[in-house]
Amino acid sequence: DTAVSQTPKYLVTQMGNDKSIKCEQNLGHDTMYWYKQDSKKFLKIMFSYNNKELIINETVPNRFSPKSPDKAHLNLHINSLELGDSAVYFCASSSRTGEGTGELFFGEGSRLTVL
Amino acid sequence: QKEVEQNSGPLSVPEGAIASLNCTYSDRGSQSFFWYRQYSGKSPELIMSIYSNGDKEDGRFTAQLNKASQYVSLLIRDSQPSDSATYLCAAYGGATNKLIFGTGTLLAVQP
């Protein structure tokens, strides 16, 4: 059983389109994240939800809108895609708080290519 | 100055040698530190976490933390070709209260 699963794994789309990525975790964790990894491998947090509540919202363009219908699911919708949005988007989850907050379980990633 | 800095490598070591990966961080308030391994085309996987000064050992891996020098390292003993991957250092806490990743060090273990 996959612990953190994302769909789709690959997206290829044109500039200006809208796309969504879905994430589900079956670990019973309270906190879920979206990270973006660019071509230079830099992994940057975008959003974090704790039990459906948004707790981290980085300076991400408002074209990006996360949604957490329940604590096991976190989706990411992107409007009006731009070339610079091309990256791998990782969903992650964690059960830890305090100093253990950095112990994350990552999904397999969704590679977005904007043409 | 980057918040978490790593040498991008590649760091090339022969099979059986000790690989030493280093990381420095700028936020003195950072509380906890993590090493993730990422194989090419795969997702990051947590391999070590360390919260207090000193060494922490887990199998062939040893994490070392020196908060006074703001320095974290990962030693991999008896390196194997299967250890070839990018190793990401991350720091949590401090002013941002977020998990901040370095850009990773590419390790290549030569058979």
Tokens 């409007």 belong to A79
Is a pLDDT exceeding 90 seen at residue A60? Answer: no
Numbered residues of chain B with Cβ closer than 8 Å to any chain A Cβ: 31-34, 38, 42-46, 49, 51, 86, 88, 90-93, 98-99, 101, 103-104
pLDDT in tens, A75-90: 999 999 999 999 999 9
Is a pLDDT exceeding 90 seen at residue A97? Answer: no
How many CB contacts within 8 angstroms connect chain A with chain B? 51
- A3–chain B Cβ distance below 8 A for any pair: no
Which chain B residues are Cβ-neighbours of A100 within 8 angstroms?
A: 32, 49
> What is the structure's pLDDT at A99?
65
pLDDT in tens, B85-97: 999 999 998 887 8
Beta bridge partners of B1: none
Q: Please, which pLDDT band fits residue B1 given cuts at 50, 70 and 90?
A: low
Which of A42, A45, A90 comes nearest B103 by C-beta?
A: A42
Q: Is A100 helix (H, G, I), strand (E, B) or coil?
A: helix
What are the DSSP calls for A50-90, one per residue? ETTEEEEE-S--TTEEEEEEETTEEEEEE-S--GGG-EEEE
Q: Is B67 helix (H, G, I), strand (E, B) or coil?
A: coil
CB A81 within 8 A of CB B13: no
pLDDT in tens, A22-46: 999 999 999 999 999 998 889 999 9
